[in-house]
Homo-oligomer: A and B are copies of this chain.
Protein backbone atom coordinates (compact mmCIF):
# COMPACT_ATOMS: atom_id res chain seq x y z
CA UNK A 1 0.00 0.00 0.00
CA UNK A 2 1.43 3.33 -0.95
CA UNK A 3 2.04 6.39 1.19
CA UNK A 4 0.97 8.92 -1.35
CA UNK A 5 2.73 12.26 -1.65
CA UNK A 6 0.94 15.12 0.09
CA UNK A 7 -2.12 16.38 -1.80
CA UNK A 8 -2.07 20.00 -2.92
CA UNK A 9 -4.75 22.08 -4.59
CA UNK A 10 -4.25 22.89 -8.25
CA UNK A 11 -3.77 26.58 -7.46
CA UNK A 12 -0.76 25.73 -5.31
CA UNK A 13 1.11 24.36 -8.32
CA UNK A 14 -0.08 27.05 -10.71
CA UNK A 15 0.85 30.51 -9.41
CA UNK A 16 -0.51 33.54 -11.26
CA UNK A 17 1.99 36.34 -11.87
CA UNK A 18 -0.12 39.25 -13.05
CA UNK A 19 2.45 42.03 -12.75
CA UNK A 20 4.70 40.81 -15.52
CA UNK A 21 5.68 41.19 -19.16
CA UNK A 22 4.56 38.47 -21.56
CA UNK A 23 4.76 38.19 -25.33
CA UNK A 24 1.27 38.72 -26.73
CA UNK A 25 2.08 38.42 -30.46
CA UNK A 26 4.89 38.49 -32.95
CA UNK A 27 5.37 41.85 -34.68
CA UNK A 28 4.39 40.31 -37.99
CA UNK A 29 0.99 39.19 -36.69
CA UNK A 30 -0.11 42.75 -35.92
CA UNK A 31 -1.17 44.21 -39.24
CA UNK A 32 -4.35 45.83 -40.55
CA UNK A 33 -6.91 43.84 -38.56
CA UNK A 34 -7.26 43.90 -34.78
CA UNK A 35 -5.90 40.66 -33.33
CA UNK A 36 -7.75 38.88 -30.49
CA UNK A 37 -5.47 37.30 -27.88
CA UNK A 38 -5.79 36.05 -24.35
CA UNK A 39 -3.46 36.12 -21.35
CA UNK A 40 -4.46 34.81 -17.92
CA UNK A 41 -7.82 34.10 -19.56
CA UNK A 42 -8.42 37.82 -20.09
CA UNK A 43 -9.28 38.79 -23.68
CA UNK A 44 -6.92 41.34 -25.22
CA UNK A 45 -6.94 43.06 -28.59
CA UNK A 46 -3.65 43.91 -30.30
CA UNK A 47 -3.54 46.50 -33.08
CA UNK A 48 -1.38 49.27 -34.60
CA UNK A 49 -2.30 52.95 -34.34
CA UNK A 50 -1.83 55.63 -37.03
CA UNK A 51 1.89 55.92 -36.27
CA UNK A 52 2.44 52.18 -36.52
CA UNK A 53 2.75 51.77 -32.75
CA UNK A 54 1.53 48.44 -31.40
CA UNK A 55 -1.29 48.82 -28.87
CA UNK A 56 -2.96 46.35 -26.50
CA UNK A 57 -6.37 46.95 -24.90
CA UNK A 58 -8.68 44.80 -22.84
CA UNK A 59 -10.85 43.37 -25.61
CA UNK A 60 -14.08 44.99 -24.40
CA UNK A 61 -15.93 48.07 -25.56
CA UNK A 62 -16.83 50.05 -22.42
CA UNK A 63 -20.23 50.90 -23.92
CA UNK A 64 -21.95 47.55 -24.41
CA UNK A 65 -19.30 44.89 -23.74
CA UNK A 66 -18.69 43.57 -27.22
CA UNK A 67 -15.16 42.60 -28.29
CA UNK A 68 -13.21 45.42 -29.95
CA UNK A 69 -11.31 42.77 -31.90
CA UNK A 70 -14.52 42.22 -33.90
CA UNK A 71 -14.39 45.87 -34.94
CA UNK A 72 -11.85 47.51 -37.24
CA UNK A 73 -8.77 49.71 -37.29
CA UNK A 74 -10.07 52.96 -38.77
CA UNK A 75 -8.60 56.45 -39.03
CA UNK A 76 -5.64 55.58 -36.81
CA UNK A 77 -8.03 54.36 -34.11
CA UNK A 78 -9.89 51.20 -33.14
CA UNK A 79 -13.62 51.22 -33.86
CA UNK A 80 -16.25 48.99 -32.22
CA UNK A 81 -18.54 47.16 -34.65
CA UNK A 82 -21.78 47.65 -32.67
CA UNK A 83 -22.36 51.41 -32.29
CA UNK A 84 -19.18 52.63 -33.98
CA UNK A 85 -17.42 54.11 -30.95
CA UNK A 86 -13.79 54.89 -31.89
CA UNK A 87 -10.75 54.88 -29.56
CA UNK A 88 -7.25 56.32 -30.08
CA UNK A 89 -4.04 54.49 -29.16
CA UNK A 90 -4.24 55.59 -25.52
CA UNK A 91 -7.77 54.21 -25.14
CA UNK A 92 -9.50 57.63 -25.21
CA UNK A 93 -12.90 57.64 -26.91
CA UNK A 94 -12.66 60.05 -29.85
CA UNK A 95 -15.99 59.44 -31.59
CA UNK A 96 -19.52 58.36 -30.67
CA UNK A 97 -21.73 58.50 -33.76
CA UNK A 98 -25.11 60.24 -33.16
CA UNK A 99 -24.04 61.76 -29.83
CA UNK A 100 -24.19 65.52 -29.42
CA UNK A 101 -21.23 66.82 -27.43
CA UNK A 102 -17.80 65.50 -26.55
CA UNK A 103 -17.31 61.74 -26.78
CA UNK A 104 -14.50 61.24 -24.25
CA UNK A 105 -15.22 60.64 -20.58
CA UNK A 106 -13.37 58.49 -18.03
CA UNK A 107 -15.97 55.71 -18.13
CA UNK A 108 -15.93 55.67 -21.92
CA UNK A 109 -12.23 54.86 -22.32
CA UNK A 110 -10.91 51.49 -23.45
CA UNK A 111 -8.43 49.96 -21.00
CA UNK A 112 -4.95 50.24 -22.52
CA UNK A 113 -2.03 48.13 -21.26
CA UNK A 114 1.68 49.07 -21.44
CA UNK A 115 3.38 47.71 -24.55
CA UNK A 116 7.00 47.25 -25.65
CA UNK A 117 7.84 46.02 -29.13
CA UNK A 118 11.37 44.68 -29.57
CA UNK A 119 13.25 41.93 -31.43
CA UNK A 120 10.16 41.09 -33.45
CA UNK A 121 7.83 40.56 -30.49
CA UNK A 122 5.05 42.60 -28.91
CA UNK A 123 5.27 42.39 -25.11
CA UNK A 124 2.46 43.47 -22.82
CA UNK A 125 2.41 44.30 -19.12
CA UNK A 126 -0.69 42.56 -17.82
CA UNK A 127 -1.45 44.73 -14.78
CA UNK A 128 -2.94 47.95 -16.21
CA UNK A 129 -3.33 49.52 -12.78
CA UNK A 130 0.41 49.26 -11.94
CA UNK A 131 3.33 50.87 -13.76
CA UNK A 132 5.85 48.35 -15.12
CA UNK A 133 8.68 47.79 -12.65
CA UNK A 134 11.13 46.37 -15.20
CA UNK A 135 11.80 45.88 -18.90
CA UNK A 136 10.89 42.83 -20.98
CA UNK A 137 13.52 40.12 -21.48
CA UNK A 138 15.98 40.51 -24.38
CA UNK A 139 17.20 37.44 -26.27
CA UNK A 140 20.97 37.88 -26.02
CA UNK A 141 22.09 36.47 -29.36
CA UNK A 142 19.00 37.14 -31.47
CA UNK A 143 20.35 40.44 -32.87
CA UNK A 144 23.90 39.12 -33.39
CA UNK A 145 24.54 38.67 -37.15
CA UNK A 146 26.81 35.66 -36.48
CA UNK A 147 23.79 33.67 -35.34
CA UNK A 148 21.07 31.97 -37.30
CA UNK A 149 17.80 32.59 -35.44
CA UNK A 150 14.76 30.34 -35.72
CA UNK A 151 11.46 31.49 -34.13
CA UNK A 152 8.35 29.46 -33.54
CA UNK A 153 5.19 29.88 -31.45
CA UNK A 154 4.18 26.57 -29.88
CA UNK A 155 1.07 25.84 -27.86
CA UNK A 156 1.01 23.47 -24.89
CA UNK A 157 -2.04 22.44 -22.87
CA UNK A 158 -0.12 22.72 -19.64
CA UNK A 159 0.21 25.25 -16.84
CA UNK A 160 2.95 27.87 -17.05
CA UNK A 161 4.98 26.08 -14.36
CA UNK A 162 4.55 22.59 -15.83
CA UNK A 163 5.55 23.83 -19.28
CA UNK A 164 8.63 25.59 -17.95
CA UNK A 165 9.68 22.66 -15.76
CA UNK A 166 9.33 20.37 -18.77
CA UNK A 167 11.46 22.66 -20.94
CA UNK A 168 14.29 22.58 -18.39
CA UNK A 169 13.95 18.95 -17.28
CA UNK A 170 16.86 16.73 -18.31
CA UNK A 171 15.97 13.19 -17.04
CA UNK A 172 12.88 12.86 -19.24
CA UNK A 173 14.83 13.65 -22.40
CA UNK A 174 16.69 10.34 -22.45
CA UNK A 175 13.41 8.51 -21.97
CA UNK A 176 10.56 10.39 -23.66
CA UNK A 177 12.72 11.74 -26.47
CA UNK A 178 14.95 8.64 -26.55
CA UNK A 179 16.80 8.48 -29.84
CA UNK A 180 16.12 12.08 -30.81
CA UNK A 181 19.03 13.60 -28.97
CA UNK A 182 19.75 11.60 -25.84
CA UNK A 183 19.87 7.81 -26.03
CA UNK A 184 18.31 5.57 -23.44
CA UNK A 185 20.11 2.44 -24.56
CA UNK A 186 23.77 3.50 -24.24
CA UNK A 187 25.73 3.10 -21.01
CA UNK A 188 25.10 6.01 -18.67
CA UNK A 189 27.75 7.89 -16.79
CA UNK A 190 27.57 10.23 -13.79
CA UNK A 191 27.10 13.94 -14.51
CA UNK A 192 27.81 16.51 -11.83
CA UNK A 193 25.04 19.11 -11.65
CA UNK A 194 25.53 22.44 -9.86
CA UNK A 195 22.21 24.15 -9.09
CA UNK A 196 22.06 27.80 -8.05
CA UNK A 197 19.15 30.09 -7.32
CA UNK A 198 19.20 33.89 -7.21
CA UNK A 199 16.36 36.26 -6.40
CA UNK A 200 15.17 36.39 -10.01
CA UNK A 201 16.70 33.37 -11.74
CA UNK A 202 17.91 29.82 -11.29
CA UNK A 203 20.37 27.77 -13.26
CA UNK A 204 21.98 24.34 -13.44
CA UNK A 205 25.46 23.64 -14.87
CA UNK A 206 26.07 20.12 -16.14
CA UNK A 207 29.68 18.91 -15.91
CA UNK A 208 31.08 15.88 -17.70
CA UNK A 209 28.31 15.44 -20.24
CA UNK A 210 29.27 13.65 -23.48
CA UNK A 211 28.68 15.41 -26.76
CA UNK A 212 25.59 14.10 -28.54
CA UNK A 213 26.33 11.61 -31.30
CA UNK A 214 23.34 12.00 -33.61
CA UNK A 215 23.50 13.28 -37.17
CA UNK A 216 22.22 16.74 -36.26
CA UNK A 217 24.94 17.15 -33.62
CA UNK A 218 27.64 16.09 -36.06
CA UNK A 219 26.38 18.56 -38.65
CA UNK A 220 26.17 21.43 -36.15
CA UNK A 221 29.54 20.74 -34.50
CA UNK A 222 31.67 18.82 -37.02
CA UNK A 223 34.85 19.52 -35.06
CA UNK A 224 33.60 17.97 -31.83
CA UNK A 225 35.29 19.40 -28.73
CA UNK A 226 34.29 19.75 -25.13
CA UNK A 227 30.58 20.17 -24.35
CA UNK A 228 29.32 22.73 -21.88
CA UNK A 229 25.65 22.79 -20.96
CA UNK A 230 23.71 25.22 -18.76
CA UNK A 231 19.95 25.39 -18.19
CA UNK A 232 18.48 28.69 -16.94
CA UNK A 233 15.21 30.19 -15.79
CA UNK A 234 14.41 33.89 -15.41
CA UNK A 235 11.30 35.24 -13.75
CA UNK A 236 8.57 35.34 -14.74
CA UNK A 237 8.61 32.81 -17.55
CA UNK A 238 11.82 32.60 -19.59
CA UNK A 239 13.71 29.36 -20.16
CA UNK A 240 17.15 28.92 -21.67
CA UNK A 241 19.09 25.83 -22.64
CA UNK A 242 22.65 26.71 -23.69
CA UNK A 243 25.13 24.33 -25.31
CA UNK A 244 28.68 25.09 -26.43
CA UNK A 245 30.73 22.53 -28.33
CA UNK A 246 34.36 23.53 -28.87
CA UNK A 247 35.09 27.11 -29.82
CA UNK A 248 32.88 27.56 -32.81
CA UNK A 249 29.50 26.00 -32.00
CA UNK A 250 27.04 27.78 -29.73
CA UNK A 251 23.37 26.92 -29.37
CA UNK A 252 20.91 28.94 -27.24
CA UNK A 253 17.32 27.73 -26.99
CA UNK A 254 15.05 30.30 -25.35
CA UNK A 255 11.38 29.91 -24.54
CA UNK A 256 9.35 32.97 -23.56
CA UNK A 257 6.21 31.43 -22.10
CA UNK A 258 2.84 33.19 -22.06
CA UNK A 259 0.01 31.88 -19.83
CA UNK A 260 -2.98 32.08 -22.19
CA UNK A 261 -5.28 30.42 -19.67
CA UNK A 262 -4.31 28.77 -16.36
CA UNK A 263 -3.84 25.50 -18.25
CA UNK A 264 -2.66 26.60 -21.66
CA UNK A 265 0.72 28.12 -22.43
CA UNK A 266 2.22 29.50 -25.61
CA UNK A 267 5.98 29.09 -25.87
CA UNK A 268 7.56 31.71 -28.09
CA UNK A 269 10.72 29.75 -28.93
CA UNK A 270 13.81 31.59 -30.13
CA UNK A 271 16.70 29.33 -31.14
CA UNK A 272 20.00 31.14 -31.82
CA UNK A 273 22.77 29.09 -33.43
CA UNK A 274 26.36 29.87 -34.29
CA UNK A 275 28.04 26.94 -36.06
CA UNK A 276 30.57 26.07 -38.77
CA UNK A 277 27.60 24.72 -40.70
CA UNK A 278 26.37 27.21 -43.31
CA UNK A 279 23.44 29.33 -42.06
CA UNK A 280 21.04 28.15 -44.75
CA UNK A 281 21.44 24.55 -43.57
CA UNK A 282 20.76 25.24 -39.91
CA UNK A 283 17.01 25.65 -40.00
CA UNK A 284 16.17 22.48 -42.02
CA UNK A 285 18.40 20.44 -39.68
CA UNK A 286 17.19 21.89 -36.39
CA UNK A 287 13.50 22.59 -36.94
CA UNK A 288 12.12 19.06 -37.58
CA UNK A 289 13.94 17.65 -34.54
CA UNK A 290 12.83 20.52 -32.31
CA UNK A 291 9.22 20.22 -33.42
CA UNK A 292 9.20 16.45 -32.86
CA UNK A 293 10.55 16.95 -29.35
CA UNK A 294 8.00 19.64 -28.64
CA UNK A 295 5.14 17.49 -29.91
CA UNK A 296 6.10 14.70 -27.52
CA UNK A 297 6.29 17.16 -24.63
CA UNK A 298 2.91 18.68 -25.58
CA UNK A 299 1.27 15.24 -25.42
CA UNK A 300 2.66 14.55 -21.95
CA UNK A 301 1.72 18.02 -20.67
CA UNK A 302 -1.86 17.57 -21.89
CA UNK A 303 -2.07 14.15 -20.21
CA UNK A 304 -0.78 15.67 -16.97
CA UNK A 305 -3.24 18.58 -17.16
CA UNK A 306 -6.18 16.25 -17.75
CA UNK A 307 -5.16 13.97 -14.91
CA UNK A 308 -4.72 16.84 -12.45
CA UNK A 309 -8.25 18.01 -13.26
CA UNK A 310 -9.71 14.53 -13.02
CA UNK A 311 -8.23 14.07 -9.55
CA UNK A 312 -8.79 17.71 -8.60
CA UNK A 313 -5.48 17.71 -6.72
CA UNK A 314 -1.74 17.38 -7.28
CA UNK A 315 0.58 14.88 -5.63
CA UNK A 316 4.18 15.24 -6.76
CA UNK A 317 7.03 13.05 -5.47
CA UNK A 318 10.25 14.79 -6.45
CA UNK A 319 13.79 13.39 -6.30
CA UNK A 320 17.15 15.17 -6.21
CA UNK A 321 17.49 14.95 -10.00
CA UNK A 322 14.40 17.12 -10.47
CA UNK A 323 16.88 19.95 -10.29
CA UNK A 324 15.03 23.15 -11.23
CA UNK A 325 11.25 22.54 -11.04
CA UNK A 326 10.82 23.06 -7.30
CA UNK A 327 13.02 26.18 -7.32
CA UNK A 328 10.99 27.68 -10.14
CA UNK A 329 7.71 26.99 -8.35
CA UNK A 330 9.02 28.65 -5.21
CA UNK A 331 10.13 31.74 -7.17
CA UNK A 332 6.81 31.98 -9.01
CA UNK A 333 4.80 31.73 -5.79
CA UNK A 334 6.91 34.50 -4.27
CA UNK A 335 5.94 36.76 -7.17
CA UNK A 336 2.29 35.71 -6.86
CA UNK A 337 2.32 36.82 -3.22
CA UNK A 338 3.91 40.14 -4.20
CA UNK A 339 7.16 39.40 -2.35
CA UNK A 340 10.31 40.78 -3.91
CA UNK A 341 13.64 39.36 -2.78
CA UNK A 342 16.57 41.74 -2.43
CA UNK A 343 18.65 41.75 -5.61
CA UNK A 344 22.08 40.25 -5.00
CA UNK A 345 24.93 38.69 -6.98
CA UNK A 346 25.20 35.95 -4.38
CA UNK A 347 22.98 32.94 -4.99
CA UNK A 348 20.33 32.29 -2.33
CA UNK A 349 20.96 28.55 -2.55
CA UNK A 350 23.54 26.31 -4.15
CA UNK A 351 23.56 22.51 -4.35
CA UNK A 352 25.36 19.73 -6.17
CA UNK A 353 23.84 16.41 -7.25
CA UNK A 354 24.76 13.53 -9.54
CA UNK A 355 22.66 12.54 -12.50
CA UNK A 356 23.33 9.40 -14.58
CA UNK A 357 22.95 10.24 -18.26
Contact = CB atoms under 8 A, between A and B. Distances in A.
Interface string A82-115: 1110000001000011111000011111111000
Q: How many copies, total?
A: 3
Contacts of A67: 303, 306-307
A141 interface: no
Interface string A282-323: 000000000000000000100110111011001111111100
A67 B84 CA distance: 46
A188 interface: yes
A82 B356 contact: no
Given A1-B112, A2-B109, A188 B98 contact: yes
A65 B304 contact: yes
Interface residues of A, number: 66
Most buried by B among A59, A67, A110: A67
A180 interface: no
Contact of A81 (B129, B176, B184): B176
B311 A63 contact: no
A265 B311 CA distance: 19
A3 B65 contact: no
A354 interface: yes
B81 A317 contact: no
Nearest to A131: B1
A241 interface: no
Nearest to A302: B66
A172 interface: yes
Interface in A168-205: 170-172, 174-176, 184, 188, 190
Between A300, A319, A354, the greatest number of chain B beta carbons within 10 A of the residue's beta carbon is seen for: A319
Given A98-B170, A99-B320, 9 more contacts: A2-B128, A5-B107, A43-B310, A60-B307, A65-B304, A66-B303, A70-B303, A81-B175, A108-B317
